[in-house]
Amino acid sequence: MAEEHSIQQAKGVVSAINGQIAIVEIDSENFPKLNEILTCPTDPAVILEVFYESKAATYCLILSSPDKLYRSMQLIGTESELKVPVGAPVLGRVIDLFGAVRDNGKPLPPLPRVNRVSIYSKAPSLNIVKSGYNLLQTGIKAIDFLTPIQKGGKAGFIGGAGVGKTILLTELMHNITQSRNPGLDKDKPGLSEAKQIYSIFAGVGERIREGQELVQRLKESNVLDKTVIILGQMNENAAIRFRVALAAAAQAEYFRDQLKGDVLFFIDNMFRFVQAGNEVATLLGTIPSEQAYQATLQTEISSLEDRLISTENGSITSFQNVYVPADEITDAGVNAIMSLLDTAIVLSRSVAQKGMYPPIDYSQSSSSTLTKAFLGEAHFKALTVFQQLLVNHDKLAHIVAIVGESEISPENRLLYNRAKKIINYLTQPFFTTEQQTGKKGVYVPLATTVKDIEMILSGTLDNIPADKFMNIGSLAEAKII
C-alpha cells in the first residue's frame, strides 16, 4: 500500500519564491489537485497549498515560514487539503490555522482522538436549506428596534477605524450567549432552548491585543467553554489570513451538521479577508478589477458567505465586522460584502464623537426583517412612526443648529424633542465597557424597548428633558416612569 501511495503522489521542486507565493515545477506524471497541501520529505514543517496551476508551473501559497524554502527544494503531495481540528476538544481553546493551541494551555490530543475536517466545502443544497421568521434578540435597544437580526441571517457592523465595531461584536457575543444560561432572566430570549448553542470567533487580520482581550472577556462571562477562537491576525502573512475565515466556517459547519446545534459565527474583520485575497492576487500578478481589487473578489466573498446558512440540522447566525477604509462607504470591497448581508448596521464617526453608543447611523443602516410578518403589529407601528419622526428631526436639526430650537414652531419643537428623546433612549451602557465607562451594562428585552418607545411617542413624557434618556436601560430602571 505504501508503494502504491508513493506512486500516486505528485512530486516537484521549488523554482522561485515571490513573497508568500512559491512557484513549483512538477516533475512527476501526477499533478497535485487544487488546494492540495505540498510538503518537503525532509522537513514536514514546510506547508504549501496549491492555489493556481498553469501549463508552465504550479503556484502555491506558502503557509509556513518562507525562510525554510530554497530553490530546487524537493516537494511531495500529501493528497489532502488543509484540515483543522473540530468538535468538543477545541471548545474553550484558541487555535491557529493549523490547529496548534495558542492559549498557553495543553496541546490538543493527536488523531484519531480529535476529528479533523477540510477547510473547504460546498454550500448545502437547496433542499436542506431552512429559513424562518425568528428574530434573535441581542438586548441592545438600537439593534433590536431599528435593525433586528434574523436567526440564521447575516449581520454586518460597518464602519471606519475606532468607531466601536469590535466592542459591539463582543457585546453581542456576551448578551446572546448569556441570555441562554440557566438561572438568568427568562425575558432575555436568545436562540431556541431546544438546541445547544456554540460560538465561533474568527480573528482575520486584526490586532493581536484584541484577541487577548476577547479571551479575558469570555472567561469573565463564563461563555468561553462553548466558544472556539481561531486566529490569523495582522502579524501573519496574507496566505494565512486569507484561509482563517474558511477554517472558522468549517468549524461552524461541523457544529451545525454533526452536533446539530445552533451556531453564532463572529468574524473580525471581513474587509481584512478581502484585503488578504487582494495581496495574494497582487503577488500572482493577476489583472486587477474595480478600484484595484482582485477580479475574483465577489467569488471569494460569496464562497464563504454561502456556507454560513441554516439547514434542517441547525442554524448559523453570522456577525461580521467590516472595516471601511478612510470612512468611504462606497468602497468596492465594502459594497461587495454588504450586498450579501441581511442586516447592515452602519456605525457613524460623527455620532461616536458625541458620546452616543452604539453610534449607529440610522439613515444608512438597513435590515431585511423590517416587515410586519417579522416584527409584529406593535413593533412595526412604533418603528414606522419613529422613522417618520427621524426624517423630520434630521431636517429640523440644520435649522436648530443655526437659529436655535426656540425659533421653530411649537408643533415642530414637540416632534423634534420626541425624536431626540428616542435617539437618546436608544443609547445604553455595555457590559464589555464597564471598566472603561464606570457604568454597569444593561440588557433590555425587545418587548420593553417597544413599550418604552410607544410611551415616548404618545407624548406622556413630553415634560421630561431629553438628557434624562441618555445612556439608560429601560424607562422603569431609570425611574423615569
Active-site positions read: 165, 206-207
DSSP-assigned letters across all residues of 76-100: EEEEEE-EEEESGGGTT-EE-TTS-
SS3 category, 454: helix
SS3 category, 469: helix
Q: C-alpha cell of 409?
A: 414652531
| Alpha-carbon span 48 to 37, nearest angstrom | 6
Tell me phi and psi for residue 418, to 5 degrees: -65, -45
Give which of 267, 212, 257 is closest to 115, Cα–Cα: 257
| Alpha-carbon span 322 to 409, nearest angstrom | 41
Residue 76 CB burial class (10 angstroms; 0-12, 13-18, ≥19): middle
User: Secondary structure of 192-210 in the HEC alphabet?
Assistant: CCCCCEEEEEEEECCCHHH
Residue with cell 518562507: 66
Q: C-alpha cell of 145?
A: 428596534
Q: C-alpha cell of 357?
A: 453608543
* Four-point Cα dihedral 122, 64, 295, 26, nearest 10: -90
